[in-house]
A and B are shown apart, each in its own frame.
Chain A
Amino acid sequence: MTEMDEPELTNSRLGSLEYDPAPESTAIAHFRPSYGIFIDGRFTDPSSHEQFVSLNPANEEVLATVAQSSREDVDRAVASARHAYDTVWSRTSGPERAKYLFRIARLIQERARELAVVETLDNGKPIRESRDVDVPLSAAHFFYYAGWADKLGYAGFGPDPRPIGVAGQIIPWNFPLLMAAWKLAPALAAGNTCVLKPAETTSLSALLLAEILQQADLPPGVVNIITGDGASGAALVDHPGVDKIAFTGSTEVGRLIQQRVAPSQKRLTLELGGKGANIVFDDAPIDEMIEGIIDGIFFNQGHVCCAGSRLLVQESIADEVLRRLVRRMEQLRVGDPMDKNTDVGAINSAAQLARIRELSSFGESEGATRYTSSCMLPDKGYWFAPTVFANVSQSHRIAREEIFGPVLSVLTFRTPEEAVVKANNTNYGLACGVWSEKGSRTLWVAQRLRAGVIWANTYNKFDPSSPFGGVRESGFGREGGRHGLEAYLDV
């Protein structure tokens, strides 16, 4: 770094410039006061009539109440899926299945603004992200897999690969609609029927998707959506009528699911946690790289399984990178998720906020240096200011455990070999980033990283044609691309 640009860097006032509020209207989102579960093409009351609230995490206001599904409800949903599989979906030809999926993709595009608003209200993520990432990618996923439905014989799994049957799908709260699309689209294309369980805190976009499936005239029972907490998910995992479980969530819960499924013949794919290393070499283009690091950890409040939560910086540029990073972090706009200028929204739940606070407190007590954005946080709702820890060592808890929040740990290295060793020093293996202008070095590093996804000079990019998923304790199976079909075919 050069000494002379230092005052400019540290004294920049860019981050404190006032922007007028630019809120997206919430008028387009119409919530019912309470929601039933979606079985056999209709919303029905849960057997227990038990409901729980779904909050807007940005202000703690109740958006609607959602049904708590019991074992009986799971039973009904699985029976509905089985019936639809036997009588309708397994007899629906590939070209016809394809057209249903194309329809769903189009309907998502038609109702994109509404979906984005619902997602942001229920999840707390910035409207800019739900509008530009979650919803368009969800539509793209259905569009992509629609085209596979009548071409399965060309996917490399033999001339006539068969579906598995009834798929139980359990998804997390960080990308509620997108994860539903990642699960449903390949499953339906391959000819399976589904029982989907959204996360407890973020059911509303999935329930809106149920309305879209009705509009698409998808045959009743082909997709069933049951809401509820972990108990509902466990009932789905244990249900003998389910042929396949697909789970996205924490490694802790994934391990339990693998154990519960183990004695059965059920197929299983797991997309679990991560502690992604973002490796920065001293020849990387610094402006792009700083943006990439910021995007890698603060995108979606860091509620990203593949977040670049461990920054590995080459020692020669460590001081400059840290200084620029802290300055850039100061400029992030934290607050009202409905404001189109917001960069970082609300933490999804009180429980997640407590976990982020707890793990971050270990950062300081174990000797790392803390930099926290001085942004003003709203009084109501769940908020955590973007935070960077420097002087982190590999044994620190904040370098080992998945925080799943806007908290970055910075470590240093000298040689490419050391970078690879440190990046692989984890039981996880989901994603890594490599920043360098030297292609041969990037590929050398990429070859040695134990990770399912490697982003070179970019980070947190997703595409329906690109397989996503982990190695080691980040799970197994892929979502996206030709590879994603394998998870839903009997091959």
Chain B
Amino acid sequence: MSEPRLDVRKTYKLLINGAFPRSESGRSYKVFTQSGEFLANVAQGSRKDLRDAVLAARGVQAKWWASSAYNRGQVIYRLAEMAESRRDELAVHVGAAEGLRAPEAFASVARAIDRIVWYAGWTDKITQVYGGANPVAGPFFNFSLPTPSGVVAVLASQESSLEGFVDAVLAPIAAGNTVVALASELRPTPAVLLGEMSATSDFPAGVLNIITGVTSELAPTLASHEEIDGIDLAGVGVDQASELNVIAAGSIKRVFRPRQNDTDPTRRLRAFIETSTVWHTIGQ
């Protein structure tokens, strides 16, 4: 009889600027399955970690937007490929985190992956769907281009650990923004896994940054940060969303508050798109 093999467990870390550091604060917190069993110690990100992530996101935003829409679409599609090959692992974590039985967990993962594919196809459609030429009265060629808001903070859904996370981070990324995402506080591991997959999907470092930690501690830092242009408040309740909305107003941020049972999947895509209109003279 050979002795039973001891499994190799993973350390769940942050994703900042393409690297996987522990929190600079040295803190971690315990995460449990829906049924209360210990799942992992997860890095408890600090305000300093957030600021580092914002710096990375800001630094790479122009580069991400300057790469071709075709290229951005392929990078996002590559993430779907990575997720597909690790479906089982994702399903185990989604199931544990959300208390789903295996078929439900697999279905949720499948929907999340299909959602990634959907966003991959958007990158080179946004300009045509939301932009256009304008028939101004005068000798001008006038056109409107959708452009990204810049750096978007995502407070991801607390309940929907993978599907909600995918939707919230990929909508702004597909539109050319870079993201600093706060994962579900109690169900962070599927988001951490997705972050690991993004590192092998040709995302430039800093396009997607993922922080795990205590939402109420970290959210005000994101809402007030001057280098953040927009914020998705999916992961906080009505009262905290109102408070954060007030803070976000200090720097005129674009604020997205998801609607209940929303049937329009483009609302989130449109939330962090600006319209830039160029007038050029026509003449000989």
Q: How far is the CA of A442 from the CA of B278 in the complex (A)?
A: 10
Taking CB as reference atom, which chain A residue is nearest B257? Answer: A265
A463-B137 contact given A258-B252, A446-B278, CB 8 Å threshold: yes
**Residue A465 contacts which of B134, B275, B276, B278 (CB distance < 8 angstroms)?**
B134
Instruction: Decide if A466 is an interface residue (CB 8 Å cutoff).
Output: yes
Q: Flag whether B136 is at the interface (Cβ < 8 A).
A: yes
- Map CB proximity to B onto A229-265 as digits: 1 under 8 Å, 0 otherwise: 0000000000000000000000100110011001100
Given contacts A255-B249, A259-B249, contact A482 B132 (CB under 8 A): yes
Q: How far is the CB of A170 from chain B (nearest CB, A)?
A: 16
For residue A410, CB closer than 8 A to chain B, the reply is: no
Given A251-B252, A262-B249, does the pair A466, B279 have CB atoms closer than 8 Å?
yes
Of chain B, the residue at the smallest CB distance from A449 is: B276
Interface string of B157-169 (1 = CB under 8 A from A): 0000000000000
When chains A and B are docked, how far (Å) is the Cα of A491 from the Cα of B129?
Answer: 15
Q: How many pairs of A and B residues are in contact by the CB < 8 Å rule?
A: 109
Could you tell me how many residues of chain B have their Cβ less than 8 Å away from some Cβ of chain A? 37
Q: Contact between A481 and B134 (Cβ–Cβ < 8 Å)?
A: yes
- Bound CA–CA A452/B144 (angstroms): 9
Q: Is A33 in contact with chain B by the CB < 8 A criterion? A: no
Contact A453 B279 (CB under 8 A): yes
For residue B244, which residue of chain A has the nearest CB? A262
Q: Are A458 and B279 in contact (CB under 8 A)?
A: yes
- Chain B residue with the shortest CB-CB distance to A136: B137
A469–B275 touching, CB < 8 Å: yes
Query: Among residues 245 to 264 in chain B, which have CB atoms less than 8 Å away from a CB atom of chain A?
Result: 245-246, 248-252, 254-255, 264
CB distance from B74 to the nearest CB of A (A): 21
Residues in B whose Cβ lies below 8 Å from that of A450: 150
Q: Are B280 and A472 in contact (CB under 8 A)?
A: no
Tell me if B278 and A263 are in contact (CB < 8 A).
no
In whole angstroms, what is the CA distance A144 to B279 when docked?
19
A416 within 8 A of B: no
On whether the beta carbons of B252 and A467 are closer than 8 Å, the reply is no
The complex places the Cα of A129 from the Cα of B267 at a distance, in Å, of 40
CB pair A458 B281 closer than 8 Å: yes
Interface size class of A (residues with CB under 8 A): 35 or more
Residues of A within 8 A of B135 (CB): 465
- Determine whether the beta carbon of B250 is less than 8 Å from that of A452: no
Report which residue of B132, B248, B279, B280 has the largest number of chain A beta carbons within 10 angstroms of its beta carbon: B279
Q: Which residues of the other chain, A, contact B254 by a CB distance below 8 angstroms?
A: 476
Is A192 an interface residue, CB under 8 A from the partner?
A: no
Contact, CB under 8 Å: B242 / A263: yes
In the complex, what's the smallest C-beta–C-beta distance from A237 to chain B, in angstroms? 12
The reply on A74 being an interface residue by CB < 8 A is no
Describe A's contact surface by its main secondary structure. Answer: mixed
Please tell me if A272 contacts chain B, counting CB pairs below 8 Å.
Answer: yes
Decide yes or no whether A468 CB sits under 8 A from chain B.
yes
A472 touches B229 (CB 8 A): yes
The closest CB in chain B to the CB of A156 belongs to B129
Residues of A within 8 A of B62 (CB): 448
Q: Are A466 and B252 in contact (CB under 8 A)?
A: no
Q: Are B278 and A456 in contact (CB under 8 A)?
A: yes
Contact code string A144-161 (vs B, CB < 8 Å = 1, else 0): 000000000000101000
B84: interface (CB < 8 Å): no
Which chain B residues border A262 with CB–CB below 8 Å?
242, 245-246, 248-249, 255
Is A73 interfacial (CB-CB < 8 Å)?
A: no
List chain B residues, Cβ under 8 A from A255. Answer: 249-250, 252
B252 touches A473 (CB 8 A): yes
Interface presence of A82 (CB below 8 A): no
Residues of chain A within 8 A (CB-CB) of B70 are none
CB-CB < 8 A to B226: which residues of A? 427
Question: A457-B280, A471-B274 given as contacts; is B252 within 8 A of A272 (CB)?
Answer: yes
Q: CA–CA, A184 to B46, complex, Å?
A: 47
**Distance (whole angstroms) from the CB of A152 to the closest CB of chain B:** 15
Beyond the given A262-B246, A272-B252, A465-B142, could you list 19 further A-B residue pairs with CB under 8 A, ordered by the A residue number?
Answer: A158-B264, A262-B245, A270-B252, A442-B280, A451-B276, A452-B276, A453-B276, A454-B278, A454-B279, A455-B279, A457-B280, A461-B279, A463-B134, A463-B142, A467-B277, A468-B277, A469-B275, A475-B252, A476-B274
Could you list which residues of chain A lie within 8 angstroms of chain B, going by C-beta atoms? 140, 156, 158, 251, 254-255, 258-259, 262-263, 270, 272, 427, 439, 442-443, 446, 448-458, 461, 463, 465-469, 471-476, 478, 481-483, 491
14 contacts between A and B (CB under 8 A): A259-B246, A263-B242, A442-B280, A450-B150, A453-B278, A453-B279, A463-B136, A465-B136, A465-B142, A466-B277, A467-B134, A469-B275, A471-B274, A471-B276
In order of increasing CB-CB distance, the 5 nearest A-B pairs are A258-B249, A262-B245, A463-B136, A263-B242, A456-B280
Which residues of B come within 8 Å of A, CB atoms?
62, 129-130, 132, 134-138, 140, 142, 144, 147, 149-150, 226, 229, 242, 245-246, 248-252, 254-255, 264, 267, 274-281
